[in-house]
Amino acid sequence: MLSSLHLNPTLNYATLNYSSTLLLLRGSRRRTRRGGANDSLVSTAHPARQYPSLSASLAPAREEERKEEALLPPHLRPESLPRHVAVIMDGNSRWAKARGLPSSAGHEAGYHTLKKMVELSCQWGIRALTVFAFSSENWTRPKMEVDFLMTLFENVLKESLGEFLREGIRICIIGDSSELPQSLQKLAKEVVDKTKNNTQIDLIVAISYSGRKEITQACQNIAQKVKDGLLEPEDITESHIEEELETNCIPEFPNPDLLIRTSGELRLSNFLLWQSAYTELFFTNTYWPDFGEADYIEALTSFQNRQRRFGQRIN
Amino acid sequence: MFFLASLFSLKGHHPLPVFPPIPSYMYTLPRVSVPHRNLVIKVEKDLEMEKHGRKPEPNIFASVWRFLRRCLFLVLALGPMPNHIAFIMDGNRRYAKRRNVKEGTGHGVGFTTLTSICQYCYEMGVKYVTVYAFSIDNFKRKPEEVQSLMDLMKEKIDELLEEDSIVQKYGFRINFWGSLDLLSEPVRLAAEKVMTHTADNTGPVLSICVAYTSTNEIMRAIKKSCARKSFRTQGYVNCDGESVCEDNNGYVTVADLEENLDTADCPDPDIVIRTSGEARLSNFLLWQTSLSHLQNPNPLWPEFSLRNLVWAILEYQKIYPYLEARRRLAKKEN
């Protein structure tokens, strides 16, 4: 029963009060920031402010400001958006089952949702997106489903390569690639090579991934260094371990700021265990194929309203 | 269990579902601030009496309450009970600020809450309780605050060995997890003393994480694994046909790391509860909570009471079949 409800996890009274205060501040900041032609013709209270295309015809706003307004939803502040978002794309099979469709239809619908999410992230200036496509525990699923998923990944990579190059998306694939079919491994390597110079957004896809195995692999690499005499066991620090993790393909911000898990499950399921030490978690009951722009905005708004302290005091 | 859930929801001011709908994992009954101020005053009076060596007087209501609790726990135990619950005790300072009392009082009331929760867990049959008392990141706070927390910790750790503490009453075994060498000498010695004294207890296990972060714990486990592997390859360890040496040519495995973690002799937590509504782990048991049910109720830690604990367990019982299937799959995989 509960899983079919669209529930809003941000509605506790603390965030309600805080977010309404923020809206107020946002309004006043706009008034002081936009000097010049806009103020006299269109006041901030004018409903036309909400509709960029309409306000454009009413007031000669500057080109960049109009673009910025068109790109970001009204109450999201660009400076407090997460730089790195991680997503656990859960619920495809349940979505399909609820509609009497096979699970392959769920995964296809999930792919379209992912595409939309990457587009929105590019638009809103999110610099990195990590998605949990296939866990190492998923290998125990029925062979037909696993084969379908592998074929889906191959087709997606093949068809979307052109788009990645056009949109400036850099792809990284993390996970134990040795378990993947040979053709997929080759294709993945090719896509990663071809897109490595793109700078618009980094998209990390976790296929056959397990957080514990990733940390163990990092430990193995460090043990090898110790064996080769490059490092003493007493000198091992957390940064040595972080360098060996696969998410180091984005060296500037390897740790996600926000982790979204769909379909109402409240756990991390072996995803980015080390990296999610200080990640804000957002859980929603929506199934992944239904996760749309509105849900994404909700997640980002929830992130914006949180106070991140990293163990310290903020007075 | 749904019957119990509906009972609790009727007792509160809004039945499920509610408009605007509140997700079940964020559901709490409304806080009542006036009785809590009285509770703070009562606790302060009790603490005052205990300091002067006078015990607070027991009363008949306590016995009746204990009996009612036992009945409640019997009903709760009809469903699957968690074996290990972990708590991130967040919100002590905010609690003190909201009630306009001294900052240290928040932590004092928080400690009382901890002992009550341990008692309830013991009565319910929850074998392992883990709490996040002090993170390595908390050392970055103001020196006065860190010092007062260290003093409070030393005082409370010493109290654990007293006659009427939970250790003596229920036979708790106490663990201290973390980089204890980062603690000041008196606190570290007190912690080690308690661990030695309670090492042979067979009751429930209370693990207190002080000077702890999960990344630090994993790093120490990696150091130990690497040191052990290098000793083995350099021939310092005499294998003599022991099966433990027949591992894959010095490859570090998941099991190797797990046995070197602080939590080696504890099962993974079934539920992780972070109070005060924050939804993040803050570097707490990252390795161990991969399949734990994460909950973030709104009450601050000093306000966390039996009804919140029972609600948390009901939530866990709702999703238990699905979680158990996932755990079996994960075990098969490993």
> What secondary structure does DSSP assign to B120-182, as a single string?
HHHHHT--EEEEEEEEGGGGGS-HHHHHHHHHHHHHHHHHTTSTTSHHHHH--EEEEES-GGG
Give the C-alpha separation, B226 to A12, whole Å: 47
pLDDT at B79: 93
Peptide bond into B17 cis (omega under 30): yes
Q: Each residue's pLDDT tens digit in chain B (334 positions)?
A: 545 544 444 444 434 443 444 454 444 444 444 444 555 555 555 555 555 544 555 689 989 999 999 999 999 999 999 999 999 999 998 999 998 888 778 888 999 999 999 999 999 999 999 999 999 999 998 888 889 889 989 999 998 888 778 888 888 999 999 999 999 999 999 999 999 999 998 889 999 999 999 999 999 998 888 887 766 555 444 444 333 343 445 677 888 888 999 999 899 999 999 999 999 999 999 999 998 999 999 999 999 999 999 999 999 999 998 888 888 877 776 6
pTM above 0.95? no
**Mutation for B interface: A259, A262, A266, A306, most B CBs within 10 A:** A266
Give how far the C-alpha of residue B128 lies from the chain's centroid of Cα atoms, to the nearest Å: 8
**Do the Cβ atoms of A223 and B279 come within 8 Å?**
no
pLDDT at A82: 93
Closest chain A residue by Cα to residue B224? A233
Q: Which stretches within chain A are classed as H helix?
A: 13-33, 37-41, 52-58, 63-71, 92-98, 103-124, 143-167, 182-194, 211-227, 238-244, 293-304
**Interstrand relation of A280-283 and B205-212 (parallel, antiparallel or unpaired):** unpaired
Q: List the single residue in B219, B256, B289 with the smallest CB-CB distance to A236.
A: B219
Give the C-alpha separation, B26 to B14, whole Å: 14
- CA triplet B144, B149, B155: central angle to 5 degrees? 125
**How many Cβ atoms are within 10 Å of A154's Cβ, its own excluded?**
17
**Do the Cβ atoms of B282 and A278 come within 8 Å?**
yes
Give the C-alpha separation, A218 to A231, whole Å: 14
Which A residues 280-299 touch B at CB under 8 Å? 280-283, 285
**Do the Cβ atoms of B218 and A274 come within 8 Å?**
yes
Q: Complex ipTM, two decimals? A: 0.75
Q: Is the dihedral of CA A120, A122, A123, A125 positive or negative?
A: positive
Q: What is the pLDDT of residues A227-258, one digit of tens each?
A: 888 888 888 899 999 999 998 888 888 999 99
